């Protein structure tokens, strides 16, 4: 299967893939991630990050600028996106096909993303009908490295009364995911802020036909998009 010209991401070691994924995640719009942030994200000492950064730089996967941080070059970005694709396809397969709950797939995917071959992942994607988002609403990069990097506003910033659709939430906090599932606030659900208590107090939401109260911290982690008023087609 011809997936990735040039670099073969399948051949990278798990630590290399984890570093590149962390840098991709942390770099965001600026494109640069500080080595301290990378260390914190991966839970390793800054000194060991420095060693790995030199290695990745020597392998032509990242650019390192002293005092500024690291940025992925095209090869490193391709490896990061391939790893993210594997992670998100696996999460989708575990929930859709194997019936896992959405709060139980992240840790499995963290391990399997390094072990699964590209062929296995592509077969999973095909079996799923080539999904564009994972169970948490995160965009799945295409096999040739395109990804929807649109930023979304958080539920915490939504005006009162505006009808919105839940788009995405981080997959890393299982407790939060379980709570969101309890109040039916999952990707695709329509949500409205009915009231907001002052001084960063809780928000009263309407999800489906049900009212729920959530904290500001939770609302900040839930990404939404406004529902456009569509003309009646009948």
Residue ranges in contact with Zn ion by CB under 5 A: 106, 109, 171
Give Cβ neighbours of residue 74 (< 8 Å, ≥ 6 apart). none
Nearer to Zn ion, 132 or 162 (CB): 132
What's the closest the beta carbon of residue 110 comes to Zn ion, in angstroms?
A: 7
Nearer to Zn ion, 77 or 168 (CB): 168
What's the closest the beta carbon of residue 25 comes to Zn ion, in angstroms?
A: 11
Q: Taking the CA of residue 220 as centre, how many other CA atoms within 13 Å lie in the half-sphere pointing to its CB?
A: 6
Angstrom distance (rounded) from CA 27 to CA 168: 19
Written as six digits, the tokens of 90 are: 């696996």
What's the closest the beta carbon of residue 97 comes to Zn ion, in angstroms?
A: 16
Determine which helix (DSSP H) or strand (DSSP E) holds 174, and give its type and residue range. Answer: helix 174-182
- The Cα-based distances of 3 to 8, 60, 112, 119 in angstroms read 9, 20, 19, 9
Nearer to Zn ion, 101 or 213 (CB): 101
- Parallel, antiparallel or unpaired: strands 210-214 and 203-207: antiparallel
What's the closest the beta carbon of residue 109 comes to Zn ion, in angstroms?
A: 5
Nearer to Zn ion, 22 or 158 (CB): 22
């Amino acid at each position: 299967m011809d997936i990735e010209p040039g670099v073969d991401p399948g051949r990278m070691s798990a630590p290399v893939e984890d570093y590149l994924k962390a840098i991709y995640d942390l770099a965001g719009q600026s494109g640069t991630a500080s080595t301290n942030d990378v260390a914190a994200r991966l839970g390793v000492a800054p000194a060991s990050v420095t060693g790995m950064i030199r290695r990745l730089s020597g392998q032509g996967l990242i650019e390192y600028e002293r005092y500024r941080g690291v940025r992925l070059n095209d090869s490193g970005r391709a490896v990061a996106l391939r790893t993210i694709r594997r992670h998100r396809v696996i999460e989708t397969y575990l929930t859709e096909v194997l019936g896992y709950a959405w709060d139980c797939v992240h840790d499995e995917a963290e391990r399997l993303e390094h072990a699964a071959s590209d062929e296995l992942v592509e077969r999973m994607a095909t079996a799923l009908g080539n999904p564009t988002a994972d169970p948490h609403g995160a965009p799945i990069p295409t096999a040739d490295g395109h990804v929807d990097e649109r930023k979304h506003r958080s539920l915490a910033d939504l005006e009162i009364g505006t009808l919105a659709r839940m788009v995405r939430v981080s997959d890393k906090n299982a407790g939060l995911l379980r709570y969101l599932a309890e109040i039916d606030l999952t990707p695709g659900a329509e949500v409205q802020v009915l009231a907001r208590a002052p001084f960063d107090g809780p928000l009263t939401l309407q999800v489906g036909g049900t009212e729920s109260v959530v904290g500001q911290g939770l609302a900040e982690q839930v990404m939404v998009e406004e529902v456009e008023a569509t003309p009646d087609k009948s």
